Amino acid sequence: MSIRRCFKNQLFLFLILMSCGLSGAGEVHAKNFLLVIDPGHGGKDPGAIGRHAKEKDINLKVALQLGNLIKRNMKDVDIIYTRDKDYFVTLKGRAQMANKAHADLFLSIHTNSVASRRQPSGASTWTLGLYRSKDNLDVAKRENGVILYEKDYKKEYHGFDPNSPDSYIIFEFMQDQNMAQSVHFADLIQKQFKGYCGRKDRGVRQSGFLVLREVGMPSVLVELGFISNRTEESYLRSSKGQYTLAAGIFRAFKSYKEEEEKRKESTALVGVSAQHVRSHSTSPIQNKNLNSKEKIIFKVQLLSSGRKIATSDRRFKGLTRVGYYKSGTYRYTCGDSENYDVVNRLRRSLSKRFPGCFVIAVQGGKRVDIHAAINQYRNK
């Protein structure tokens, strides 16, 4: 072989090795975690108005403080703000930012208010769901009322009226596949609000928030406190109060992200065969095309866990047909039935015992799209 041909062969081999090396390097370094921080209201929409402050200003200041804490302490996290100054953004526009960027988590920051002589106080964190009380509905009405600032809101939101309780019936059928993670993040935030921030704990709640309905990732909406309460308004507009609240949310986010990383590592290391998954009720595949010949079974998904829990565990005491499937985490279900209404009533009765529980649909051993399943059930 000539020296020139030998050199060409060696050069070709070197280029192949370099190409493989570069490709491998790209796979080793995973993309950063992407958090969308959504300061509610803004611009022509002031949000709730107190004696001395406006909600839009408090939301933005806490959001920017939170973002700065994350940037300084978590280099593997990227942040998108739906707004970083005082301007108006539609609810759908906020959600579209998160969806287009394929964000990992969506956090909407708000400040509460009531138009009465009552002086409630405290912080709460909300996930998507059906309202359970008039107070929950009032909060959703107020936050969704931002769409009234939009020109064609009835067309854009398919006739949704933020002031009509009937419009919220749709959330009965909005079974969010990210619900478990959303509720867990909400719970972490509330623990920090109570323990680290020293705020009155108003708990994790659910209601029909349009901005949460539109996003395709785990999402929560926080209400930092009541601007209608003079004492709390003073705290909310103070630099110390805003920093403390931002720091509390930061601590919760840090815990959530660390847990997510451990969960993903565990999933990657362990792996689950399709046969193993099928033997425990369902697969994690979301099918929208239903098979008309096979029965659709509805179940209540109770909770998820990073480790396996025995179905005889005391948490499931009194429940029948408890099963699980694995999709990243172990997900536990009960109440198998072809009757959606029966299972949905069961979900309601279990909602206090298992906050955030929701209905899933299974066909042929595979989890299928809940909306398509409900439509098929109703048509029958």
pLDDT tier at 30, thresholds 50, 70, 90: low
Per-residue pLDDT at 227: 96
Residue type, 300: V
Per-residue pLDDT at 172: 45
Q: Give CA torsion, residues 93, 97, 102, 108, to 10 deg.
A: -80
**Mean pLDDT to the nearest integer, 327-355:** 85
Which CATH number is associated with domain 33-263? 3.40.630.40
- Choose among 32, 43, 46, 40: nearest CA to 62: 40
Residue 332 to residue 302: CA distance in whole angstroms: 6
Span of 76-85, 103-112, 154-163 with lowest mean pLDDT: 154-163
From-to residues of CATH 3.40.630.40 in the chain? 33-263
Give the mean pLDDT of the chain: 79
Greater confidence, 353 or 89?
A: 89
- The whole-model pTM stands at 0.61
Residue 110 to residue 60: CA distance in whole angstroms: 9
Outline where the chain has alpha helix (H).
3-28, 55-73, 91-101, 134-144, 153-156, 179-195, 210-214, 230-236, 239-270, 274-278, 340-350, 370-379
**Mean pLDDT to the nearest integer, 319-339:** 85
Give residue-wise pLDDT tens across range 165-208.
655 544 544 445 577 788 889 999 999 999 999 999 999 887 77
Instruction: Return the percentage of the chain with pLDDT > 70, whole number.
Output: 72
Per-residue pLDDT at 318: 86
Span of 11-15, 36-40, 287-291, 350-354 with lowest mean pLDDT: 11-15
Per-residue pLDDT at 249: 98
pLDDT tier at 160, thresholds 50, 70, 90: low
pLDDT tier at 275, thresholds 50, 70, 90: very low
